[in-house]
Amino acid sequence: MSNTKDNANDIDASSFASILAGVQKMREDTGSIPSQDPTLAEVNHDTQPNASSLNAIQPPAPVPAPPPQTHTNVTNEKYQKATLNESTAKPIPPKRNNNSVKPSTKRTQTSGPSDILVSRSQEGNPLLSTPIMQATPWSFDKSLLSDYYINPKFQIIFLTLKYHKLHPEHIWNRWKKLNQGSSTVHTRGDDALRVLLVVVDVDSHQDLLRKLSDFCIKHDLSLVLAWSYEEAANYIALCKQLDKAPLKGRKIIEGTKGSDYNSSVVKAFTGIKSVNKTDVSNLLANCKSVKEIVLQSCQNDNDDGIGLASIPGLGAKKLENLKKVFSEPFISNKDYDT
C-alpha cells in the first residue's frame, strides 16, 4: 500500500516538474522573462520535490495565450498592392458651378479714337480744307507714324504724283518711318491695313503708277488712287464712318443677296441696257438656264422671229445688247488671239 502511494507521488512530482519546464521553455521562446542560469535549471531538474512540498506549492499560473498570428491572405495582399499603386490617370478636377460666368468668345471690334488723327506733316494740305473734312472731326497728333490714323489696324499714307515726281525718295522714307525704321517688311507681324492714298495730279502718270504699284506689292501696302483732293478726303471720311459702324461697312462689302436663284439672275441681267425683269423671266422660261441664254444670245440667227427674237418683248436692240455683253472679251485689254 505504501509502495503504491510512493509511486503516485513520484509520478505527480515528475509530471509537475515537466510542466514547469514546459512553461519555462515557452516563456524563453516568447521572450517574456529572462532565461535562468543553466546550473540552477539543472539542479531544479534533478531535485525531486517531496509530497509535503507539492502540497505547499500553489497551482501553476495559467499559460499565457500565444501571440496573435500575423498570417494574411496572399490574394488580398496582391489585390491591395494593385490598388494602392499610384494612378497614371489625370486627376478629375472638381465640378464647376454652372452659374459661373463663362468667358466670352465674341470677337472684339478694333475701334480707334473718335476723331481722325492727322500727322503734323499734313499741315497746309488742301485735303484738310475740303468740305467733307471740315464736316468730319479730326485733330493733329505729332506722335503719328502714318499721315492719317483711323484705328490701330487701319492707317493711311498720303502722296501726290506731282510731289512724288520731284521727290521719289519721299515714299521710301515714309514707309521706313511707318515700319519703325526697318527696311524689311518681314519684321512686322501684325495684320494692320496700311493704305497708300495717291492723288493723281499729273498727265503722264502711267509709269509713275506702275512703279508705285510694284513698291506697294513688295512692301505690304494697299494702293488707292484718287483723282482730286475732294475724292481723297471723301475716302478718308468714309473709312472713319465705317470704323464707327462696322456692321454697315460689312453690309456694303457683301451687298444685297437675292433670296433665290431666279432673283439673282434677274438682278444680274437687268444690269444690261434696256433689259427689264419681264424680259429676264421670259428668257428663263424659254431657255431654262443661264448657260442656254448666253449661247442663244451669241448666235447670228436671232432675227425675223427666229431664236430669241420669237420671245415677246425682245426686239433687235435688246438682242444686240445681250450679244455684245456676252461676246466681248472678259478682260478688255487682253489679246485672246495670242
Residue 325 makes CB contacts below 8 A (sequence gap 6+) with 272, 297
- Name the band, by pLDDT with cuts 50, 70 and 90, for residue 175: confident
Residue spans per domain, the chain: 2-56, 116-254, 261-327
- Is the Cα torsion angle 177, 152, 187, 226 positive or negative in sign? negative
Exposure pattern of 203-220 as b/e (b: 16+ CB <10 Å)?
A: eebeebbeebeebbeebe
pLDDT in the model for residue 40: 43
- Name the band, by pLDDT with cuts 50, 70 and 90, for residue 279: very high
3-state SS, 144-211, equals CCCCEEEECCEEEEEEEHHHHHHCCCHHHHHHHHHCCCCCCHHHCCCCCEEEEEEECCCCCCHHHHHH
CATH label, 261-327, candidates 3.40.50.720, 3.40.50.2300, 1.10.150.20, 3.30.428.10? 1.10.150.20
Task: Tell me the three cell numbers of residue 31.
Answer: 521572450
Q: How far apart are CA 338 and CA 333, in angstroms?
A: 13
CATH architecture of the domain covering 116-254: 3-Layer(aba) Sandwich (3.40)
Task: Tell me the three cell numbers of residue 217.
Answer: 506689292
Question: At residue 53, does pLDDT exceed 90?
Answer: no
What residue type is 93 in one-letter code? P
- Name the band, by pLDDT with cuts 50, 70 and 90, for residue 74: very low
User: Is the whole model's pTM more than 0.85, yes or no?
Assistant: no
